[in-house]
Each structure stands twice: as structure tokens, then as C-alpha cells.
Amino acid sequence: MQLMECDAKTLLSRYAMASPAGSVATTLEETEAAAARLGPNPLFVKAQIRAGARMAAGGIRNVRSPAEAKAAAAALLGRRLATAQTRPEGATVASVLIEQAVPAHRELYLAVSIDETSATVLITLGEGGEDVEPLLREQPDRFIRLQSSVGGERQPGEIAALCQSAGLASDEAAGLQRMILALHRAFVELDASLIEINPLLLTGEGKWIAADVKMVLDDNAAFRHPDLVPLGLDTEADQAELRAQRHRINFVRMDGDIGTVVNGAGLGLATLDMIQAAGGSPANFMDIRTTASSLDIAQGVNLVLDNPRAKVMLLNVFGGGMQPCDTIVEGLGIAYRRSQRRLPIVLRVTGNNEDIARLRLANFNLPVTQCSDMWQAVTRAVAVARG
């Protein structure tokens, strides 16, 4: 779950990591009052959504007075902000962060994440700002990476050497080393999958300031942090995903028109890849867990039926020992009995209780096209979606 910038900075403050003085506001009056308290220095009014790339989309505005701050908030609050990291329709801005601008002697990029080997990796670059993220994708060799185990074991002096390589004075390097150690401790203790500080500012007084923070926490560790769960709830975008979680289904909305009902994460991802290869566009990812009942599965099918973009439903089912085919087909039938919408269904089903599943399918009298293999099912679904 991704946190808003203001919440991420509050969490990092527990680890003695400084950020600019600021205040969160949800109304124009609160914005104006906060700007009056924080002024008269230049300020930023920053839209609080769970996505980055806000500056390029106009979601971060530089202001110099309470009146300008109020006007900036008026342009943001209650509006939808679409960035390179949101869905095309954007996200509604319900609050803004009013924050002091900090003069910087130097800017760095600093992040901790999990790599493909499940090890923690510290990533840094001797510059920061909006242009860094494209560099991370296009020129990864420019970044310094320091890998460690989850517990953080490293060879002595590795962090000190990394800090010195940035060309800092000894006291500045020592401060950066303390910042990195605190960042790693926060990463482990909060069960994060990403903490990114961009930019990390070095002031003229030699103090390190986290000017912007992106933090993603591991959903699977939420039971260890019940106090943090509300921070990651996006009441607008994530209700379908939260509903699916309650019914033992992993679900992610997408922007296409082919709804998918699949059991198994690997099979689900393969299904999405095949839809793309066939020239189609998936409306969602779905992974029905082995513990899901037919009633749970019905809830997942309803999520597909409730999506106005979906033109067809593709079921790709492999029945295993713990999740037989007939349980999923029964959930399909329950969902269609409850729903007023009847999308055409393209189905590929094989495995445990396959014959029973086909008998139940006939009894439900559903608009089904049955296919013998995955590719046939995918190409048929793409054809139906195209009309």
C-alpha cells in the first residue's frame, strides 16, 4: 500500500529523519491559515495523492503568500489530478500539504527497495529531482547500488565509502551515513517494499532534509501494523481491491475491456500477457486463492460485472487439489443470478472436477463459449471485445 507524502514524512520523523516544516489542509481556509503560520518564506502547496510525478502534472505549486496558497489550493482541492503514475482518469485531491521551501546546497536521490533476489538494495545518485526517475529506468548504471540482506548486514565501511564517493565533506558524509542507517531501519521495521527520498536536500548548514518521500508498505505485513493500515486506504481507487481481499481474491483494476477470472497468480499473469499478445487489453488482474469458497468467487466475478469498461469475461481455470473447477463455475453461476448485467463469457476450464464443472455450467444456462486451450480462449475473448 502506497502512502501519501505527508504520512510518509510523519513516519520517517520517528527515525529522526527531518523534512521541511509543513501542515496538511483540506479546505481553502485551512490552507490560507497554514501559509500565514509558515511564511513569509516561499512555500509549496502539494496535492496529496498516492502517486508520484505530481510536479509535471501541476500538482505541486510554488507560492509566496497566503493568498497565493489559497488560490493554489482552490485549483487542486476536489479536482482530479492525473500524473504518469495514476490511472488515466487521475485521482481526486482531498488534501494539500503546505510546506516551507528549503534552500539547498546540494540535492541527492536516495532509496531503499527490494530487488529481484529478495535482498534489500540501497540506491543513490549524486543528483535529485523530477528528472531522476526516467534516468533510473533508462540509465540504471549511473546509480550506485548497495545490496544487503533484509537484516542489513554489510561489510564494515561500505556505507561510509558510499557517502565519501559522493564527494561530500567529512561532516556532510557522516550526516548522510546516519540518514542512510535510519532509512534502512525504517524500511525493515515498517515492512516497506520501497522508501524513496527525492530529492534529499543538503542545506547550507550541513543538515539533510527529506524534501519529498514516496513510501510503499507490504500489504502482506499489514497484520503487524494495524495502526498503519488506514494510511494506505484509498477510498476512491481501492474499494474493489479491498472488497476482493476480504473474499480471498487478489484483484487489480486495469484500463482494458476484457475482464479476467483466473485462479493462480502465475496463470493470471500469463493470461494478461496472452491477451496483450493477441492485441487485446485486460480490464483487471485476478488471482483466486485456494481457500476461496464459491460465494467468495461470486464476489470476484461481480467485480468484473460491475466494471462498465468490460465487454467480455474470460475465465481461465486450472483445477487443482485445493481449488476444483466446479467451485469456480458455481461462483460464476451465483454471480450471474445476482447481477442484472450478463457479459458474454469465454471459458477455458481443465483439471480437477472438470466434468462436474461443465455439467453445472449447462444447468446455469449462461452465455458461454467454451474453448479447449488458453490461446483459443484468449483470441476468442479479444474478438468478442472488438465486436
The Cα 133–Cα 319 span in angstroms is 42
CATH of domain 239-385: 3.40.50.261
Tell me if 173 sits within 8 A of 166, measured CB to CB.
Answer: yes
Q: What is the largest CA-CA distance in the chain?
A: 77
The number of C-alpha atoms within 13 Å of 177 and in the hemisphere containing its C-beta is 17
Pairing verdict, β 91-92 and 96-100: unpaired
Nearest CA to 96 out of 62, 52, 49 is that of 49
Q: At what angle do helices 325-338 and 294-305 cross, to 10 degrees?
A: 50
Burial class (CB in 10 A: 0-12, 13-18, 19+), 37: exposed
Helix (H, G, I), strand (E, B) or coil at 38: helix
How wide is the angle at C-alpha 383 spanned by C-alphas 378 and 385, nearest 5°? 95
Q: What are 187-208's pLDDT values in tens digits?
A: 999 999 999 999 999 998 989 9
- Mean pLDDT of each 10-residue bin along the chain, 387 residues long: 93 95 96 94 94 92 96 96 88 95 90 75 67 71 70 63 76 88 91 92 92 91 83 64 85 94 95 97 96 95 95 95 92 94 96 94 92 97 95
CATH of domain 21-100: 3.30.1490.20
Give the other-Cβ count within 10 Å of 137's Cβ: 7
Q: Where are the domains of the chain?
A: 21-100, 106-229, 239-385
The number of C-alpha atoms within 13 Å of 161 and in the hemisphere containing its C-beta is 8
Q: What are 9-60's pLDDT values in tens digits?
A: 999 999 999 999 999 999 999 999 999 999 888 999 999 999 888 999 999 9
CATH of domain 106-229: 3.30.470.20
